Amino acid sequence: MREAAAIQSTARGQVSTQVGVLFSPTAHLPLLNDGIPMYSVLETAVGHVVGALETTTDATGVTFHRTPATARARMADDYFDLMSAVPSGVRLEALTDTSVFEFDVELTRDLLPDTTSPGSTFDLVVDGVLQEPVRATENLVIVDPVTLETQFHPAGPTTLRFELGEGAADRRVEIWFPASSMLKLLDVRIAAGTSLRPAPVGAPLWVHHGSSISQCSQADRPTETWPAMVARETGRSLLNLGIGGHCQLDQFMARTVRDLPASAISLELGTNVVNFDTMRERTFASAFHGFLDTVRDGHPNTPIAIVTPVICPVAEQQPGPTLFDANYQMRTIERPAELAAGALSLTRVRELLVREVDIRIKEGDTNLSVIDGLALFGADDVKDMTDGLHPNAAGYRRMAGRFLALAGGLDGPLG
């Protein structure tokens, strides 16, 4: 069954709501410093959020998801749910005459031991101009990837304030949610006597699916994930379906992409397959074609770019899985030779993706192309990796600068 109802409403700049336990936003009218009362516009604001597939509502607030509910129910995986609820690329887009927004939020971030969080960052864009970021504290989940010991450090809800400056005229406002933390939106308030209305819809939709390399939790701010930077440069409306740890050629994601009104599609594939050692050559090639066949059922002529894996030095020649060592850097596991037949390294994944794309092009799919992940982020960029797998903020900015040229520039299919 297709998840078309939720998906098509997203394309119109709306987010579908999966009704749960209803809750009441802040009922009183908090006062600004200058004495102007505020009022809640939560329900209206949720309707103006883009970049998510759907929402869930419970007794305290609203969570935005980038995976379909059927997949989350069937997976029954807490980490999958967490990554789905990290709103990378999700933002409020609206017209308003208010001078200030207030957001009540609760954020949850996972960290490695002996690391600290700089806070979760929100970005404000007013009439196309990026403003100073706003940062918030989070609940912290400290997970030792070696021992799996977990510690929870609660912070509770927090209130954020976004100053737009004085002015009675309508302004187009974007508020980008963090790419690093799960978000629950508790309330949204604007100044009494002002309103929040839909922003004009017209930018072509770019749908991108990938791994944590596309979710970009290490970016300094949500507008500096590499997909967000490319989308802002090209004037596209971004739907970032980069799900940390869960880019596995799943059919539920293929069906999701199939049913979206995308004008361009890119798929960053292969890294998580090696990370978790989930496929061999035989299954990977077949799963790739099955994924593309499903997407092509809804997009027979839409340009699709296949992005091969960026560098991960320990897995270039050695098959996965990849694990953390005692210093929280990536390592692989030696395996007996008799178990190595058909196992996938990143080098082999790139070769297979190029080979299978070439087969499809020869079959007549001329709107399919490959972007070399090593050209996007390769051997000369290893200094800008956090753990031997993920680029840091500078690395993501460099990827953004390269991606469009590798995809054919502004005149290319993704431009």
Residue-wise pLDDT tens digits, 267-319? 999 999 999 999 999 999 999 999 999 999 999 999 999 999 999 999 999 99
Beta-bridged to residue 185, according to DSSP, are 62, 105
Per-residue pLDDT tens digits for 27-85: 444 555 566 799 999 999 999 999 999 999 999 899 999 999 999 999 999 999 999 99
Quick one: 193 and 263 in the same domain? no
Question: Domain count of the chain?
Answer: 2
Q: Are residues 191 and 222 in the same domain?
A: no
Higher-scoring residue by pLDDT: 345, 32: 345
CATH number (domain holding residue 54) = 2.60.120.260
Torsion angles phi and psi, residue 368, rounded to 5: -115, 135
Burial of 300: CB neighbours in 10 Å, binned 0-12, 13-18, 19+: exposed
pLDDT of residue 189: 97
Instruction: Give the pair of three-digit tokens for residue 124.
Output: 């404000």
125 and 51 in a common domain: yes
Contacts of 248 (CB under 8 A, 6+ apart): 272, 273, 276, 278
User: What CA–CA distance (Å, rounded) separates 225 from 241?
Assistant: 13
Tell me, yes or no, whether 290 lies in a domain.
Answer: yes
State the pTM of this model.
0.91
Same domain flag for 323 and 378: yes
For residue 23, which of 71, 80, 55, 62 has the smallest C-alpha distance? 62
Return d(Cα 276, Cα 284) in angstroms, integer.
13
Q: Which of residues 198, 216, 236 is at a domain's end?
A: 198
If you write DSSP's letter for every residue of 25-76 in order, what string do you get?
Answer: ---S-PBPTTS-BEEE-HHHHHHTEES-SEEEE-SS-EEEESS-HHHHHHH-
Query: pLDDT band at residue 9, thresholds of 50, 70 and 90?
Result: very low
User: Which is more confidently placed, 335 or 397?
Assistant: 397
The two three-digit tokens of residue 292, written as one number? 């593309």
Instruction: With a cut of 60, say whether residue 5 has pLDDT above it.
Output: no
Residue 191: give the domain boundaries: 4-198
Domain finish residue from 198, 214, 243: 198
Tell me: do 167 and 225 sit in the same domain: no
CB atoms within 10 A of CB 171: 17
Residues whose CB is less than 8 angstroms from the CB of residue 362 and which lie 6 or more positions away in sequence, other chains included: none
Residues 349 and 248 in one domain: yes
**Mean pLDDT lowest among 8-17, 58-67, 387-396:** 8-17
Query: Three-state DSSP class for 103?
Result: strand
Whether the per-residue pLDDT at 149 is higher than 90: the answer is no
